[in-house]
Structure 1
Amino acid sequence: MKRKGLKITGAIILLILVVYAFLPRYAQRALIYLTVDIDDYKIFNNREVVAADPEPWEKDALYGEVKIPDNWVDSLAQYNTVAYAIIKDSMLFLDEYWMGYSDSSYSNSFSAGKTIVGFSILSAIDHGFIESLDQRVSDFVPEYDNPENKDLRIRDVMTMSSGLNWVESYGGLFNTTTESYYGSNLMSLITGLKVVEEPGKVFKYKSGNTQLLSLVLENATNMTMSDYVSRYFWTPMNAQYDALWSLDKKNGVEKAYCCFNSNAKDFARWGELMLSHGNWNGKQLVSKELMTEALTPATYLVGEDGDPVDYYGYQLWILNYKGMHIPYMRGILGQYVFAIPEKNMVVVRLGEKRSRTYINHHPKDVYTYIDLALELTK
């Protein structure tokens, strides 16, 4: 009986190995790693986003004196927070770190990186690489010059209303999102998409939109995403550390819809750019007009629930809370950069989890991080 049991076990293992061997490479990698992680830059090839003019934040007079109360620490720990930082009046007010992370530790942006791509498109318009948001995607992506895709506008892609047949799914092994994350041919995935619903009408969040924007930018500027962001943002914004942008393969393309790896204090610079309407130390990195558009909800769209979209602009989320209009960057594991104009404040939270409960299209935990910042700075 024991020998028979060993034979059955061996047969099952052999069958699993045979099935595994015939899986697509991206599915094999997904099975190896099982879940995404904030340290996934270690399993990917990366391209540096160079910080050629680093300058640390000036510190607020209260920096080092204000501490997070114990009752709030428990709230932060609930979702495995690794970093929490506040920039107030353009000065570092507070930053704290947990779980072995520090002010220079890399952490994956996940979808918070979408905002970086959105700002890059706006910058490319300002610099004349792109005519306007109403220019056709097919002007830059020849594969889209077909009856289905030829009228798709950049604006529709920016507002997640492209109508493309990308399926945004995080639970399955065989889906576009999994293939984009663990696969090695993002170009093929993106150029093979088709418009299947009328663009510019319905908001449907799809990571493929952001990846398409990166292809538009690269073809318009003849620069990689990393090089463009380094030249037009990361260096002018005086980022303190080089960032890493994960690629689909060695010398490949950036996983632009995610996977911009940096630290809390440097991520905060994107929030500061929102507060200043695109200006950094007197230099307009994004024109005030376009930045204002980006931070304005696309209410002419409707969500899948049929209600006007008052919670999304150009590749960023918008929260209305306690009378405040708060645009913010958001990643799947609770990567947040909040810009709070009414308080002239930026709040950054990085970590490994976020709430699965939503309040008005926003994860429940976002209110915790904002309330904490309001209490600490009042």
Structure 2
Amino acid sequence: MPVLPRLKRRPLPVLMGAATLALSLAASATQPYPHAQEPIGDVQAIYDGKLSPELAITTFRNTDRLFPVRTIKAGGHPFPLPRSAKPLAPVAFEFKGKHYSLDDYVTTNRVTGLLVLKDGKIVDERYAHGNTAETRWMSMSVAKSVTSTLVGAALQDGSIKSLDDKVTHYLPALAGSAYDQVTVRQILAMRSGVKWNEKYTDPTSDERHLIQLRSEQVTGSLLKFMATLTTAAPPGTRTNYSTGETQVLGQLVSAAVGKPLTQYLSEKIWAPYGMQTDAKWWLDGANGNEVGGSGISATLEDYGRFGQFILSGGKAGGKQVLPEGWLSFASAVTGSDGAYGEFASMWWPGWTDASKADKAFTAAGTFGQYVYINPTKNVVIVVWQAQTQPTGGKVIDDMVAFDAIAKVLP
């Protein structure tokens, strides 16, 4: 197999006083984004799988240049992620009859960033292909899990009264559409019964039409498109993976709380939990609505902090942001889609025997992004990949690699 540059481990920081650390963080916040002048591909080439390996890398760390974005503001006091005194032990596993190491995995799957947290401490952090701790990498469908988490926040603060409320209670624009009798709970589980074709490689699919509308940048057009869809099954009877559902869900949360998703995410989680760096989120038009199913770009460590926030039960800034038991609710299997497997409330339950035993689950994005959470082992793993195909590009099953990493952690 080809040998790619070894991932660079982030060095252990030198000890510094609180004042020096604050000045250092303030200085880094004012520095220009290190990748801002790099070439990027266009949206059509991304979803057609026609980016070169090199252009995929520079595009995926500059996705905030593809569409208008709104900033998710960080707080001034980063949540600490101390380095563990124990480095990650050698990782070895088998997949389809072949033996692999962790280095084999990151090379074969074109991993450009890897963060492993155990008990809230960094046991491994690596970057490759020019990525650094300042790099913001795209999320794709990892954003779905963020959007579903904001449902939990809105439920906790009373903005959403019940998951069994009708969607139209919050989005009256959908009255009379296929969503007329659909509940918030059914949207979370992608069991609305609304007809949807997710296939990225089909230029006539609903998902590709949604992508085209994003490119046209007409604020509100995504929800208008969702209102034109038809019913394929009674609500609650069939799981059908649909990125369009997360657009409905994101605008529902925004309507319920009376503010943009970026502002709500910043106020509830990003700032009070202590994310270190501002993040970005795609909009459907200039100063428009956030794209609920994709388009967040953030740093590796801040994705790790988000995983820790979920793992710790949804507390931020000393407050309970998510309802008690939300972790168990959000990660529980709600159904199975023939093409996409088992699904939870916009998270993916573990699909290997080991991950199922540990009740592990993950946020996952096409082209290879993961925020893996293992509540049994108290482990969070964040992975960035630079796959060039929307689906089917990886060689090694990521969950098998995550199992192997979790296994060697004490």
TM superposition score category, shorter chain reference: 0.7 to 0.9
The equivalent of 1:242 in structure 2 is: 278
Identify the match of residue 117 of structure 1 among 107, 130, 147.
147
Q: Deviations over 1:61-89 (max 9, x none)?
A: 427x5587794212211121110001111
- CA spacing shift, 1:253–1:368, aligned 2, 3 Å: same
Separation (CA, whole Å) in 2 of partners of 1:53 and 1:304: 45
Q: 1:68 to 1:191 in 2, by over 3 A?
A: farther
Pick from 283, 294, 297: which aligns with 1:258?
Answer: 294
**Counterpart among 240, 258, 262 of residue 204 in structure 1:** 240
Identify the range of structure 1 (210-219 vs 270-279) with the bigger mean alpha-carbon deviation. 270-279
- The count of aligned residue pairs is 341
**Which residue of 1 is the match for residue 130 of structure 2?**
100
1:47 Cα deviation from its structure 2 partner: 0.7
Q: Give the aligned CA root-mean-square deviation in angstroms.
A: 2.8
| Counterpart-to-counterpart distance in 1, 2:203 and 2:341 | 33
1:71-110, aligned counterparts within 5 Å?
Answer: 71-110=101-140
Aligned-residue offset at 1:48: 0.3
Does residue 350 of the first structure (1) align with residue 380 of the second (2)? no
- Correspondence 1:332 to 2:332: no
Choose 1 or 2 for highest CA Rg. 1
What code does the residue aligned with 2:70 have?
R
What letter is aligned with 1:365? D
Alignment pair present for 1:49 and 2:68: no
Matches of 2:43 and 2:276, distance apart in 1:
33
Q: Does 1:214 align with 2:214?
A: no
Aligned residue number for residue 342 of structure 2? 311
**Which residue of structure 2 lines up, in the alignment, with residue 288 of structure 1?**
324
Give the superposition deviation at 1:44.
Answer: 1.6
Query: In the alignment, is residue 224 of structure 1 matched against residue 256 of structure 2?
Result: no
Matched, 1:149 2:168: no
Q: 1:217 to 1:68 in 2, by over 3 A?
A: same
Of the three residues 122, 135, 138, the one matched with 2:168 is 138
SS, match of residue 96 in structure 1 = strand
Instruction: Tell me the residue number matched to 2:303.
Output: 267
Report the Cα distance in structure 2 between the residues aligned to 1:220 and 1:235, rounded to whole angstroms: 21
2:401 corresponds to: 368
Tell me the amino acid that sits aligned with residue 314 of structure 2.
Answer: G
Which residue, 166, 170, 189 being the options, matches 1:159? 189
Query: Quick check: 2:179–2:192 contact (8 Å CA) kept in 1?
Result: no
Moved more, 172-181 or 199-208: 172-181
- Superposed CA offset, 1:293-328 (max 9, x none): 112222xx45448xxx99322110111532211021
Query: How much has 1:93 moved relative to structure 2?
Result: 2.1
Aligned partners of 1:106, 1:260: CA distance in 2, in Å? 9
- Tell me the TM-score normalized by structure 1: 0.82
Q: What residue is the counterpart of 2:229 in the other structure? A: 193
Structure 1 runs not aligned, ≥5 long: 1-27
For 1:53 and 1:127, locate their aligned partners in 2 and report how far apart those are by CA, in whole Å: 24
> Which whole-Å CA distance do the structure 1 matches of 2:282 and 2:156 have between them?
27
The Cα shift of 1:235 comes to 0.8
CA contact 2:83–2:123 (8 Å) conserved in 1: yes
User: Percent identity of the aligned residues?
Assistant: 22
CA contact (8 A) 2:360 2:373 kept: yes
> Paired residue for 1:58, among 71, 77, 81?
81
SS in 2 for 1:139: helix
SS at match of 1:93: strand
How has the CA–CA distance of structure 1 residues 45 and 147 changed in structure 2, closer, same or farther, with 3 Å as cutoff? Answer: closer
Contact 1:357–1:364 (8 Å) recurs in 2: no
CA distance in 2: counterparts of 1:373 and 1:76, whole angstroms: 16
TM-score, structure 2 normalization:
0.76
Residues 1:290 and 1:372: Cα distance change in structure 2 (over 3 Å): closer
Tell me how far apart the structure 1 counterparts of residues 258 and 320 of structure 2 sit (CA, whole Å).
Answer: 22
Structure 2 gaps of 5+ residues are: 1-41, 92-99
Per-residue Cα deviation, 1:11-40 (whole angstroms, up to 9, x for no partner): xxxxxxxxxxxxxxxxx9626984475232
d(CA) in 1 for partners of 2:205, 2:174: 22
SS at match of 2:117: strand
- What secondary structure does 1:287 align onto? coil
